[in-house]
Structure 1
Amino acid sequence: MKFKKLLATGATVTLSALALAACGSKDAGSDSQTLNWTDSAEIPTMDLSKATDATSFNQLNNVMEGLYRLGKDNKIEPGIAKSTKVSDDGLTYTFKLRKDAKWSNGDPVTAKDFVYSWQRTVDPKTGSQYVSLFDGIKNASEIADGKKPVSELGVKATDDHTLVVTLDKKIPYFKLLMGFPLFFPQNQKVVEQYGSKYGTASKYMVYDGPFKQTGWTGSNLNWKLQKNNNYWDKKSVKLNTINYQVNKSPNTSYNLYQSNKLDASPLSNEQAKQLKGKKGYLERVGASTFMLAFNTEKPDFANADVRRGISMAINRKEFANNVLGGGTVPADTITSKGLVKVGNKDYTAGVAGNKFAQFNKAEAKKYLDKGLKELGKDSLEFTILSDDTDNAKKSTEFLQSQIQTAFGNKVKVKTQNVPFKTRLSRQASGDFEVSIYGWGADFADPISFLDLFTSDNAQNLAKWKNEDYNKLIAASKTEADTNKRFKDLQDAETILLNEDGLSPLYYQVTPWVVNEKVKGIVYNSAGANYNFKDTYIAK
Structure 2
Amino acid sequence: MKHWRILGILMLCIILTGCSTNHETDTTSDSQGVMTKNQDLTLTTTHPITSLDTDKLSQFGRLNNTIEGLYSAMGDSDTELALAKKVKINASRTTYTFTLWKDSYWSNGDLITASDFVFAWQRALQPRTKSPNADLFDGIKNARQILNGKLPASQLGVSAPDKFTLVVHLDHPMAELPQRLAFPLFGPQNEKFAKRMGKRYGTKPQYHVYAGPFMVSSHKFSIQHWHMVPNPHYWDRKHVYLRQIDVRMYPSQRAAWNAYESGTLDEIRLVNKTNLKSFEKSADYTARPYSKMVNLVYRQRGHAANTPLMRQKTARLAISHAINRQVLTQASYGSTSLPAKGIVPAGLSRGVRGTSDFAAAQPEQKTLAFLPKTAQAEWLAALKATHQKRVTLTLGYSDIGSGEKVAKVLKQQLVGTLPRLSITLKPRQEGLNRDYAPVTADMTVVTQRAQYADPLAMLDLFTSDNAANFGHWSNETYDDLIDQASNAPSFNSQRWQTLLKAEGLLMQEQGATPLIQPASTYLVNPKLNGVVYNTVGTQSNFKSAYFVH
> Structure 2 length as normaliser, TM-score?
0.85
Which residue of the partner structure matches residue 121 of structure 1?
Answer: 124
| 1:237 partnered with 2:240 | yes
Which residue of the partner structure matches residue 50 of structure 1?
Answer: 56
Please give the alpha-carbon distance, in whole angstroms, between the structure 1 residues aligned to 2:77 and 2:229.
25
Distance 1:387 1:203, change over 3 A: farther
Identical pairs, percent? 34
Please give the alpha-carbon distance, in whole angstroms, between the structure 1 residues aligned to 2:468 and 2:95.
29
- The alignment's C-alpha RMSD in Å is 2.6
Give 1:428's match in structure 2, choosing from 418, 433, 437.
437
**Residue 234 of structure 1: how far off its partner (Å):** 1.2
| 1:98 partnered with 2:101 | yes
**Residue 399 of structure 1: how far off its partner (Å):** 1.7
Asked if 1 retains the 8 angstrom alpha-carbon contact of 2:287 and 2:521, the reply is yes
Per mean C-alpha deviation after superposition, the further-off stretch among 109-118 and 354-363 is: 354-363
Per mean C-alpha deviation after superposition, the further-off stretch among 42-51 and 172-181 is: 42-51
Per mean C-alpha deviation after superposition, the further-off stretch among 103-112 and 277-286 is: 103-112
| 1:318 partnered with 2:322 | no
Per mean C-alpha deviation after superposition, the further-off stretch among 236-245 and 367-376 is: 367-376
Q: Map of 1:330-345 to 2, 5 A cutoff?
A: 330-343=339-352, 344-345=355-356
Which residue of the partner structure matches residue 448 of structure 2?
Answer: 439
Amino acid at match of 1:391: S
Please give the alpha-carbon distance, in whole angstroms, between the structure 2 residues aligned to 1:488 and 1:397.
36
Q: Map of 1:128-147 to 2, 5 A cutoff?
A: 128-147=131-150
Please give the alpha-carbon distance, in whole angstroms, between the structure 1 residues aligned to 2:225 and 2:218.
7
**Residue 183 of structure 1: how far off its partner (Å):** 0.7
Please give the alpha-carbon distance, in whole angstroms, between the structure 2 residues aligned to 1:117 and 1:457.
21
Distance 1:480 1:209, change over 3 A: closer
Distance 1:252 1:375, change over 3 A: farther
**Residue 40 of structure 1: how far off its partner (Å):** 2.9
Distance 1:50 1:301, change over 3 A: farther
Give 1:367's match in structure 2, choosing from 378, 386, 389.
378
Asked if 2 retains the 8 angstrom alpha-carbon contact of 1:34 and 1:241, the reply is yes
Asked if 2 retains the 8 angstrom alpha-carbon contact of 1:215 and 1:222, the reply is no
**Residue 163 of structure 1: how far off its partner (Å):** 1.4
Distance 1:392 1:161, change over 3 A: same
Distance 1:140 1:391, change over 3 A: closer
Please give the alpha-carbon distance, in whole angstroms, between the structure 2 residues aligned to 1:214 and 1:374.
60
**Residue 198 of structure 1: how far off its partner (Å):** 3.6
Secondary structure at the aligned position of 2:54 is classed as coil
**Residue 390 of structure 1: how far off its partner (Å):** 5.3
| 1:109 partnered with 2:112 | yes
Give 1:296's match in structure 2, choosing from 275, 294, 300.
300
Please give the alpha-carbon distance, in whole angstroms, between the structure 2 residues aligned to 1:109 and 1:151.
20
Per mean C-alpha deviation after superposition, the further-off stretch among 475-484 and 180-189 is: 475-484
Please give the alpha-carbon distance, in whole angstroms, between the structure 2 residues aligned to 1:459 and 1:216.
36
| Count of residue correspondences | 506
Distance 1:252 1:312, change over 3 A: farther
Amino acid at match of 2:312: N
Per mean C-alpha deviation after superposition, the further-off stretch among 459-468 and 434-443 is: 434-443
Please give the alpha-carbon distance, in whole angstroms, between the structure 1 residues aligned to 2:441 and 2:416.
22
Secondary structure at the aligned position of 1:175 is classed as helix
**Residue 496 of structure 1: how far off its partner (Å):** 0.9
Secondary structure at the aligned position of 2:281 is classed as coil
Distance 1:217 1:444, change over 3 A: farther
Which residue of the partner structure matches residue 44 of structure 2?
Answer: 38
Please give the alpha-carbon distance, in whole angstroms, between the structure 2 residues aligned to 1:159 and 1:100.
15
Secondary structure at the aligned position of 1:311 is classed as helix
Please give the alpha-carbon distance, in whole angstroms, between the structure 2 residues aligned to 1:410 and 1:431.
19
Which residue of the partner structure matches residue 386 of structure 1?
Answer: 397
Please give the alpha-carbon distance, in whole angstroms, between the structure 2 residues aligned to 1:80 and 1:115.
14
Amino acid at match of 1:514: V
Q: Map of 1:165-176 to 2, 5 A cutoff?
A: 165-176=168-179
**Residue 73 of structure 1: how far off its partner (Å):** 1.3
**Residue 51 of structure 1: how far off its partner (Å):** 2.5
Q: Map of 1:382-421 to 2, 5 A cutoff?
A: 382-389=393-400, 391-407=402-418, 410-421=421-432
Asked if 1 retains the 8 angstrom alpha-carbon contact of 2:325 and 2:370, the reply is yes
Please give the alpha-carbon distance, in whole angstroms, between the structure 2 residues aligned to 1:379 and 1:42.
43
* Structure with a larger share of its residues in helix: 1
> Structure 1 length as normaliser, TM-score?
0.87
| 1:86 partnered with 2:89 | yes
**Residue 176 of structure 1: how far off its partner (Å):** 1.9
**1:413-439 CA-partner distances (Å, limit 9, x unpaired):** 3241534449x75x5334343222112
Distance 1:78 1:477, change over 3 A: closer
List alignment gaps of at least 5 residues for structure 2.
Answer: 1-34
Q: Map of 1:490-529 to 2, 5 A cutoff?
A: 490-529=500-539
Please give the alpha-carbon distance, in whole angstroms, between the structure 2 residues aligned to 1:240 and 1:336.
36
Which residue of the partner structure matches residue 464 of structure 1?
Answer: 473
**Residue 195 of structure 1: how far off its partner (Å):** 4.2
Secondary structure at the aligned position of 2:402 is classed as helix
Which residue of the partner structure matches residue 22 of structure 1?
Answer: none
Which residue of the partner structure matches residue 14 of structure 2?
Answer: none
Asked if 2 retains the 8 angstrom alpha-carbon contact of 1:40 and 1:249, the reply is no
Q: Map of 1:468-479 to 2, 5 A cutoff?
A: 468-479=477-488
Per mean C-alpha deviation after superposition, the further-off stretch among 244-253 and 345-354 is: 244-253
Please give the alpha-carbon distance, in whole angstroms, between the structure 2 residues aligned to 1:248 and 1:411.
35
Asked if 1 retains the 8 angstrom alpha-carbon contact of 2:229 and 2:244, the reply is yes
**Residue 64 of structure 1: how far off its partner (Å):** 1.3
**Residue 248 of structure 1: how far off its partner (Å):** 8.3
Per mean C-alpha deviation after superposition, the further-off stretch among 128-137 and 271-280 is: 128-137
Asked if 2 retains the 8 angstrom alpha-carbon contact of 1:200 and 1:217, the reply is no
Asked if 1 retains the 8 angstrom alpha-carbon contact of 2:175 and 2:489, the reply is no
Asked if 1 retains the 8 angstrom alpha-carbon contact of 2:43 and 2:248, the reply is yes
**Residue 376 of structure 1: how far off its partner (Å):** 2.1
**Residue 259 of structure 1: how far off its partner (Å):** 1.4
Amino acid at match of 1:289: M
Amino acid at match of 1:167: L
Secondary structure at the aligned position of 2:99 is classed as strand
Please give the alpha-carbon distance, in whole angstroms, between the structure 2 residues aligned to 1:445 and 1:248.
37
| 1:376 partnered with 2:392 | no
**1:163-192 CA-partner distances (Å, limit 9, x unpaired):** 122223222122222211111011223433
Asked if 2 retains the 8 angstrom alpha-carbon contact of 1:281 and 1:512, the reply is yes
Give 1:538's match in structure 2, choosing from 535, 545, 548.
548
Secondary structure at the aligned position of 2:42 is classed as strand
Secondary structure at the aligned position of 1:74 is classed as coil
Please give the alpha-carbon distance, in whole angstroms, between the structure 2 residues aligned to 1:365 and 1:207.
56
Secondary structure at the aligned position of 1:403 is classed as helix
Please give the alpha-carbon distance, in whole angstroms, between the structure 2 residues aligned to 1:383 and 1:476.
35
Secondary structure at the aligned position of 1:325 is classed as coil
Amino acid at match of 1:534: S
